[in-house]
């Protein structure tokens, strides 16, 4: 039976272009009808074997998801590979409100579902939390992370691609301990709506993490159970967290990122630098929050993006961009506009307070080119609360659709 499964998987691999040896997870006794703890033990056995030879375990598609308990360790060299690309509205069972394909069914509330070590891959898999609420904000289950970086070893080279999350609380937690930093993490084509407001967070990742083509939206389960209610979305925003968080990270490469209905779009922490391009942060309170701990290399290049900042406790708290600390921020072709949206509660004005808030008491510099700034309440697009800040805007457009060019220093709100 195992030989038959290997042959089937190798044929599948040849058809989709993989050059790996794929072995079906069913060959190790993982089955949709098993208890979650049994499947966990059998999946771990499969991973243990794959780790010794650098193999991939094929998560064979079924019409019933695989129930699996948390606490799995994806050991060095092993891969888990399924058949699905990202499924932004959910795959659909013929007669039940549940996904089909390469699907893990998760109900464990105590342990991170899977912890990844070096040289590992997870691709083409759906993670489903069937007990998570869709409509009741006071019933949100704070699940542990779905995918977590190792907390006990240095992790280098993890590839996460074509993953979909339904009902997760925190999708991918790559906050590594300072004594066990990670390196060269890649996240691409991942979809979900984290009910903590945090989709991907990275800390102590030395050298070139990449977050590419990722999408966060409360309609992720539209074809399965419907979208998350307005009350749930409001509860997510109230947590005041950011969909993407980067800290203690060199050379971060962030491209084609989307979020909808989270408090913050992205937080670029004190100890980071890199590039953010081609993004849309929709229905947020803060689009981009950039910090910096020095003037040498705490610099970010941010380009080709759109921010719709319109939610929060008060319009005075709504800022498409917030900058503080030290370093330089170069912004090119980043527009901001606001308005109402029935999927969540927006501020009464349906506007932001400004285009950018600059805070702190240390010298920082900002340059802007070709940015459209509109639908803000204040008289000026920039609120400067930092006497050391220098801001230069060229070829920009203000809320009155007039050309805006200025060099600004120490302007109080």
The answer to whether the CB of 314 falls within 8 A of the CB of 347 is yes
The residue from 262, 287, 309 where one domain ends is 262
Tell the residue number behind the tokens 């400067």, with chain if given. Answer: 384
Task: Evaluate whether 351 touches 341 at the Cβ level (below 8 Å).
Answer: no
Is 252:277 a contact under the CB 8 Å cutoff?
no
Write the pLDDT tens digit of every residue in 234-255.
999 999 999 999 999 999 999 9
- Kindly tell me if the per-residue pLDDT of 412 is higher than 70: no
Q: Is the pLDDT of residue 411 over 60?
A: no
Mean pLDDT of 396-410: 91
Residues 281-295 pLDDT 10s: 999 999 999 999 999
Residues 328 and 369 in one domain: yes
The answer to whether residues 240 and 387 belong to one domain is no
Considering the domain boundaries, does residue 309 fall inside one?
yes
Which H/E stretch holds residue 40?
helix 36-53
Helix ranges (H only) for 102-245 are 230-238
CA angle 249-250-255, nearest 5°? 85
Average pLDDT of the residues in 7-26: 59
Residues 187 and 279 in one domain: no
Residues 136 and 278 in one domain: no
What is the number of domains present in the chain? 2
**pLDDT confidence of 22, banded at 50, 70, 90?**
confident
Q: What is the CATH number of the domain that holds 102?
A: 2.160.20.10
Same domain, 59 and 130: yes
Question: 39 burial class (0-12, 13-18, 19+ CB within 10 angstroms)?
Answer: buried
**Mean pLDDT, rounded, of the chain:** 94
Q: Are residues 29 and 150 in the same domain?
A: yes
In a domain, 1, yes or no: no
Residue 20 pLDDT greater than 70, yes or no: no
Q: Could you tell me the residue range of the domain that residue 353 belongs to?
A: 271-413
Single out the residue in 237, 262, 287 at which a domain terminates: 262
**Does residue 19 lie within any of the structural domains?**
no
Same domain, 242 and 303: no
* Res. 361: pLDDT tops 60: yes
From 86, 170, 69, select the one nearest 122 (Cα to Cα): 86
Same domain assignment for residues 276 and 255? no
Which tens digits make up the pLDDT trace of 94-148? 999 999 999 999 999 999 999 999 999 999 999 999 999 999 999 999 999 999 9
238 in any annotated domain = yes
Residue 50: φ, ψ to 5°: -60, -35
Report d(CA 405, CA 218) in Å as an integer: 38
């Amino acid at each position: 039976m195992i030989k038959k499964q290997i042959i089937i998987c190798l044929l599948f691999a040849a058809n989709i272009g993989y050059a790996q040896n794929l072995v079906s997870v069913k060959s190790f006794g993982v089955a949709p009808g098993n208890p979650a703890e049994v499947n966990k033990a059998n999946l771990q056995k499969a991973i243990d074997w794959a780790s010794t030879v650098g193999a991939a375990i094929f998560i064979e598609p079924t019409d019933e998801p695989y129930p699996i308990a948390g606490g799995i360790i994806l050991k060095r060299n092993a891969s888990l590979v399924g058949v699905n690309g990202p499924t932004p509205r959910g795959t659909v069972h013929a007669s039940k409100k549940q996904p089909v394909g390469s699907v893990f069914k998760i109900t464990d509330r105590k342990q991170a579902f899977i912890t990844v070590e070096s040289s590992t891959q997870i691709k083409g898999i759906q993670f489903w939390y069937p007990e998570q609420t869709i409509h009741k904000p006071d019933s949100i289950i704070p699940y542990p992370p779905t995918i977590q970086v190792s907390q006990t070893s240095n992790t280098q080279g993890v590839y996460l691609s074509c993953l979909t999350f339904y009902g997760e609380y925190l999708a991918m937690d790559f906050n590594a301990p300072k004594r066990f930093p990670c390196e060269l993490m890649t996240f691409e084509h991942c979809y979900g709506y984290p009910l903590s407001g945090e989709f991907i967070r990275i800390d102590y990742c030395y050298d070139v993490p990449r977050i590419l083509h990722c999408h966060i939206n409360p309609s992720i389960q539209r074809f399965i159970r419907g979208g998350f209610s307005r009350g749930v979305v409001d509860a997510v925003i109230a947590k005041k967290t950011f969909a993407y968080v980067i800290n203690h990270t060199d050379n971060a490469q962030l491209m084609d990122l989307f979020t909808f209905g989270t408090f913050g779009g992205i937080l670029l922490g004190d100890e980071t630098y890199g590039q953010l391009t081609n993004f849309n942060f929709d229905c947020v309170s803060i689009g981009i929050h950039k910090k910096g701990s020095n003037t040498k290399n705490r610099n970010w290049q941010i380009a080709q993006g759109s921010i719709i900042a319109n939610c929060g406790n008060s319009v005075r708290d709504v800022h498409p961009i917030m900058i503080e600390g030290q370093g330089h921020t170069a912004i090119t072709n980043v527009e901001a506009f606001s308005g109402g949206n029935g999927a969540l509660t927006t501020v009464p004005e349906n506007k932001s307070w400004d285009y950018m808030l600059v805070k702190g008491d240390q010298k920082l510099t900002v340059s802007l080119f070709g940015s459209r700034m509109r639908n803000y309440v204040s008289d000026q697009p920039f609120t400067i609360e930092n006497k050391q800040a220098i801001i230069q805007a060229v070829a920009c457009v203000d809320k009155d659709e007039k050309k805006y060019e200025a060099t600004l220093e120490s302007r109080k709100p």
